[in-house]
Structure 1
């Protein structure tokens, strides 16, 4: 498995992101879906990576810069055929390391509350994310769970090293 920067974003990644958006709209009310569309994914404050194996797309994930010291995980998605094989873990570790290298002291994310999102919430908790109040432009929403990790602590770095 290799993690690669997606710039420009390839058609297969757009397809996976389209699948992601479709699933989110099927599970949550439209007003509670915060996945980035094709246009929003191409803005200068968002960086997107893919996970590939022999060229085949396995997943993707993005970082959005909210402030010079704060980022947000966006559009983490694993292709359905390879779920449970560590693709999400690899991407999350990459995003955490990249956030630290950028000098972020806090990394946020928003995910759903429905059972569909339970594996993602467990993954984030295993890596040190804790529930928090809405951040940025988000507002309280019964369909959203907000999580964050303090990247300035040694504990957050230790959880990443254990997984590598």
Structure 2
């Protein structure tokens, strides 16, 4: 498994991100979908990585700088056909390592409710993320759960 900075517009990555957006829109009202499209993932304040086994895309994740001491995890996704291979945990560990290198004091994220995103909640909790209130530009939302990790 290798993790590298990548282009979110790469065809296989784009397909994965489109799957992610479709899924989010299928289970959440539009105002509660906070997944980023490719153009927003290419913003200068966001770093985007993929996880691959050879040429096979196993997942992706992004780290957005909210301020010099605070980062946000975005676009964590593994293909529905390739789950349970450790790619999510690997890219999460990689991004947390990058957050440490950047000197962030904390990393936060927004995800969906436990009923729909149980595996994600368990993954984040396993490395120390805890529930928190909305951060950045987020507002309270019954379709969102906010978590943070002090580094």
| TM-score bin (small chain) | over 0.9
Matches within 5 A, 1:70-149: 70-113=70-113, 115-149=115-149
Shift of 1:7: 3.8
> Which residue in 2 is equivalent to 1:32?
32
User: Is the 2:8–2:41 contact (alpha carbons within 8 Å) kept by the matching residues of 1?
Assistant: no
Shift of 1:20: 0.3
Describe the shift of the 1:141–1:81 C-alpha distance in structure 2 as closer, same or farther (beyond 3 A). Answer: same
How does the TM-score come out when normalised to structure 1?
0.89
Secondary structure class of the residue paired with 2:36 = coil
**Aligned mates of 1:57, 1:77 — CA distance in 2:** 11
User: Is the 1:13–1:57 contact (alpha carbons within 8 Å) kept by the matching residues of 2?
Assistant: yes
**Aligned mates of 2:97, 2:9 — CA distance in 1:** 21
Superposed CA offset, 1:69-112 (max 9, x none): 11000000011112111111101100110100111011000000
**Aligned mates of 1:143, 1:7 — CA distance in 2:** 29
The gaps in structure 1 that reach 5 residues or longer are 152-164
Superposed CA offset, 1:41-90 (max 9, x none): 11100110000011111100000000011100000001111211111110
Number of residues of Structure 1 aligned to a counterpart in Structure 2: 151
Secondary structure class of the residue paired with 2:111 = strand
Find out whether 1:49 has 2:46 as its counterpart: no
**Aligned mates of 1:112, 1:64 — CA distance in 2:** 18
**Aligned mates of 1:69, 1:148 — CA distance in 2:** 13
> Which residue in 2 is equivalent to 1:159?
none
Describe the shift of the 1:8–1:108 C-alpha distance in structure 2 as closer, same or farther (beyond 3 A). Answer: closer
**Aligned mates of 1:73, 1:97 — CA distance in 2:** 12
Shift of 1:8: 6.6
Shift of 1:114: 5.1
